[in-house]
Structure 1
Amino acid sequence: MGVLRGAEWSGRIFTGEWVPGGGGPPGRAVEPATGDVLALFGLASEWDALDAAERAARAQRDWAATPAFERAAVLSRAAALFAEHAAEIDDWIVRESGSTRFKAGIETAAAAAECAEAAALATAPHGELLHSPAPRVSVRRRVPAGVVSVISPFNFPLILAVRSVAPALALGNGVLLKPDPRTAVCGGVVIARIFEEAGLPPGALQLLPGGVEVGSALIDAPQVRVVSFTGSTAAGRVIGERAARTFTRAHLELGGNSALVVLGDVDVAAAASCGAFGNFIHSGQVCMAIGRHLVHESIYEEYVELLGRKAEALRVGDGYREDVQLGPIIDDRQLDHVRDLVERSTASGARLVAGGAHEGLFHRPTVLADCTSRTPAYAEEVFGPVACVRPFSDAEEAVALAADSEFGLSLGVLSGDLAAATALADRIPSGQVHINDQTFNDDANAPFGGVGASGNARVGGPRANAEAFSETQWWTLRATAPRYPF
């Protein structure tokens, strides 16, 4: 029996048990490739969210008092369950989020890795002994923040939720999870069921799919001390402002328009392979996706031609029923956004090298050459399968072009000269830098996040996770109370 089959989750939210939500009729999990309804899930109301915050605060006290090795054991069991049920979870990711099998496999493997890392975090050193001028023991230590709200997106629904949920739980917090309603099962129900089966105490994790009013309640609730949000820059600004009213820490992982800088001394075929993968993975619906291909003028036309050939050769279709490299765009609204950017870009002078067409939600991988700063698809985050290519003449111009963006999430630099590539990368603001690789990279033990309009979050790895989901406390101990001159 699978982790979802046989459980009473259909049409319900999770509060420690599966109960009807107060947000109206159940939501529908829709398969983008076919339009079929796969399942029903519960919708929470604003009052459900506020009640959940109170419940989580109560459960959190006991969970934080649970010995660290017992918390680690729950996270280890969750990691094993993700691996055990990977095939079933992959199916849900493929069907509900429009993924390919390859991309779904990345998510389930990453979810298991995140839980394994979190298990180690639970028992990692959590303080240090300080020198003190007084006769006392002085310690800097980290303590749980309290209740953490996780608001996650549709594109990588499992991993972008788990990478906050798992370390927050490991450190002794209670967690309220609001997945994107478009992927509420693979980005929400799956996680709740895994931790339920792993033995997490009731109330420590709660699942609350819903609309804007639910998200607002999960920020405003007085018990919530940290909000971890992954999504658009526009939404992140609103969430950051709202959280600041109650001095709630907001970890914001936002949009991107990442640059791949291709110097003139590369293997052009390998560079085009990096460019195609980093741009078209999951139909470009990735914050780390390459938004701008900056290519040295000496190899520019060859790179454009090879990238166009790769785009034309990629198979687009239903990842559940076909062997494809790209699945559908998530919904009509996102498709219209991609179409509009392509149409306005070609109208403004960009050269259409490949793609540009769509059939239903299936948009062909598209290559636009001769882009400028005024090309809409070059200047904005597309979140779709569109590659914008632009030439540069020297390193100074490459740096200026790559740095000319409000975003700063991920950067790739391809070159046969590692010293030159490193020197160039050091001059471009970015939360992540990949020398001789494309921009789509994520390791469970590495800090992830951006700068500028790409946000202020860092999650991943013991140090970043501890800083994100705990508080620093100064703690002292004397053998006896001193006498003061009062």
Structure 2
Amino acid sequence: MLSTEQPRWSFARRRPAGVVSVISPFNFPLILSIRSVAPALALGNAVLLKPDPRTSVSGGVVITRIFEEAGLPAGVLHLLPGGGEVGKALTEAPEVRIISFTGSTAAGRLVGETAGRLLKRAHLELGGNNALVILPGADLDKAASAGAFGSFLHQGQVCMTTGRHLVHESLKEEYIAKLSQKAKHLPVGNPAEDGIAIGPIIDAKQRDRIHSIVQDSTAQGGTVEAGGEFTDLFYSPTVISGISIDNPAWAEEIFGPVAPVISFSTIEEAVEIINGSEYGLSVGVLGDVGLAMKIADQVDSGKVHINEQTVGDEANAPFGGVGDSGTGSRVGGASANIESFTETQWLTVRSEIAPYPF
């Protein structure tokens, strides 16, 4: 109910947008599809779902079958597998009012450009080059464990992966040694087997890109403290030291199990380095909470986790990034999902026709 000076009822109400296109990536296909599909359907929309062609079953077929078994009416959810040409069609289709895209920044720019030209809403959840800050006095055993989890979970194929380790200068050498020991002892192999921590990269193209960045990093002065090798699609957890902020391993989103490390001396320097990236998805800060809050208040990031690493997501929490990490729109939680997948309509009601001077 809205306040009004007129003798009428005045409401702002939410209505379904109509048709929503959901374009999801390969790395967490089930989660990153369902997080948009389910709320869009629940809010009364029809959905066109295009998963990555490499994960069309786990990111598409499984979801459509579940909804079919649950009794969703025919025609409300459509699965349209395919590559970029299908994504382009789902963005340009005149019936589509909202596009929910999760994927690379390069592809997201194309979706956003098309949506802007056609005056459609596009929710763009893109890449990240996320920083983990280790403050002076931090427990290094716990910090190294957090850093290894943040960089090596799912072989680094996570938009929230810890892509930059920023360590206070007093702890740098010890942290590198502990993180490298973690990397060297993580079992690599078939993740269906017991005890395996690191599985395969999605395909050879992505594996070769990871290795190319590692090689470029060493060519520009970086030192591989652990890893830097692969067998088939299995890339060893890798730690790189001795680099500057313009080194490829620090500046680029690698999307692989690679942990570049540099040091800082002051909180102001740490904030400047964090904000030096074009990405702004997630930041983790380990150590004193008071110092960590000073960093949280100054960094450009959609999420900040104090005394946790950078990978964190809950279905009830708004998720999104800024800069090259996305448009700042959010999915997750009731208020964010309602904002994302509905249109607002102003409605007024009088008991009889209003008088007018004409």
Coarse TM-score class (shorter-chain normalised): over 0.9
Query: Match of 1:338?
Result: 210
Q: Does 1:149 align with 2:24?
A: no
Give unpaired runs (5+ residues) of structure 1.
1-128
Q: How does 1:287-302 map to 2 (within 5 A)?
A: 287-302=159-174
Query: Match of 1:441?
Result: 312
CA deviation string 1:385-425 (max 9, x = no partner):
0000001111111111111100000000111x212110112
1:307 to 179, 182, 206: 179
Q: Which amino acid aligns with 1:428?
A: V
CA deviation string 1:133-190 (max 9, x = no partner):
1111100111111100000000000000000001000100000000000000001101
Query: Match of 1:275?
Result: 147
Query: Match of 1:319?
Result: 191
- 3-state DSSP of counterpart to 1:344: helix
Instruction: Measure the CA separation in 1 of the matches of 2:252 and 2:11.
Output: 47
- 3-state DSSP of counterpart to 2:124: strand
Confirm or deny: 8 A CA contact 1:260 1:412 kept in the other structure: yes
Instruction: Measure the CA separation in 2 of the matches of 1:323 and 1:176.
Output: 39
Q: 1:323 Cα deviation (Å)?
A: 3.1
Query: Match of 1:459?
Result: 331
Confirm or deny: 8 A CA contact 1:147 1:223 kept in the other structure: yes
Query: Match of 1:165?
Result: 37
Q: 1:473 Cα deviation (Å)?
A: 0.8
Instruction: Measure the CA separation in 2 of the matches of 1:464 and 1:273.
Output: 32
Q: CA RMSD in A?
A: 0.8
Instruction: Measure the CA separation in 1 of the matches of 2:78 and 2:129.
Output: 33
Higher relative contact order (CA 8 A, sep 6+): 2
Confirm or deny: 8 A CA contact 1:169 1:175 kept in the other structure: yes
Q: 1:320 Cα deviation (Å)?
A: 2.1
Q: How does 1:51-70 map to 2 (within 5 A)?
A: none
Q: 1:426 Cα deviation (Å)?
A: 1.0
Query: Match of 2:4?
Result: 132
Q: Which amino acid aligns with 1:366?
A: T
Instruction: Measure the CA separation in 2 of the matches of 1:321 and 1:353.
Output: 27
Instruction: Measure the CA separation in 1 of the matches of 2:267 and 2:117.
Output: 44
CA deviation string 1:278-325 (max 9, x = no partner):
111100011000110000011111100000000011011111245311
Q: Does 1:193 align with 2:62?
A: no
Q: Which amino acid aligns with 1:483?
A: P
Q: How does 1:416-435 map to 2 (within 5 A)?
A: 417-435=288-306
More displaced stretch, 419-428 vs 339-348: 419-428
Instruction: Measure the CA separation in 2 of the matches of 1:304 and 1:242.
Output: 44
Instruction: Measure the CA separation in 1 of the matches of 2:121 and 2:246.
Output: 36
Q: 1:368 Cα deviation (Å)?
A: 0.2
Confirm or deny: 8 A CA contact 1:370 1:391 kept in the other structure: no
Query: Match of 1:117?
Result: none
Query: Match of 1:264?
Result: 136
Give unpaired runs (5+ residues) of structure 2.
none
Q: How does 1:21-420 map to 2 (within 5 A)?
A: 129-415=1-287, 417-420=288-291
For normalisation by structure 2, the TM-score amounts to 0.99
CA deviation string 1:34-87 (max 9, x = no partner):
xxxxxxxxxxxxxxxxxxxxxxxxxxxxxxxxxxxxxxxxxxxxxxxxxxxxxx
Confirm or deny: 8 A CA contact 1:148 1:168 kept in the other structure: yes
Q: Which has the higher helix share?
A: 1
Instruction: Measure the CA separation in 2 of the matches of 1:333 and 1:308.
Output: 26
CA deviation string 1:358-406 (max 9, x = no partner):
0000000000012211211110000000000001111111111111100
Q: Which amino acid aligns with 1:426?
A: D
CA deviation string 1:428-457 (max 9, x = no partner):
100001011000000010000000010013
Instruction: Measure the CA separation in 1 of the matches of 2:170 and 2:72.
Output: 58
Q: 4+ residue runs of structure 1 moved beyond 6 angstroms?
A: none
- 3-state DSSP of counterpart to 2:29: coil
Q: Which amino acid aligns with 2:306?
A: I
Instruction: Measure the CA separation in 2 of the matches of 1:213 and 1:361.
Output: 27
- What percent of counterpart residues are identical? 61
For normalisation by structure 1, the TM-score amounts to 0.73
Q: Which amino acid aligns with 2:61?
A: V
Instruction: Measure the CA separation in 2 of the matches of 1:403 and 1:340.
Output: 25
Instruction: Measure the CA separation in 2 of the matches of 1:321 and 1:209.
Output: 30
How many residues in Structure 1 have an aligned counterpart in Structure 2?
357
Q: Which amino acid aligns with 2:146?
A: C
Q: Which amino acid aligns with 2:261?
A: V
Instruction: Measure the CA separation in 2 of the matches of 1:295 and 1:355.
Output: 20
Q: Which amino acid aligns with 1:242?
A: T
Instruction: Measure the CA separation in 1 of the matches of 2:284 and 2:344.
Output: 35
Q: Which amino acid aligns with 1:295?
A: V
Q: Which amino acid aligns with 1:243?
A: A
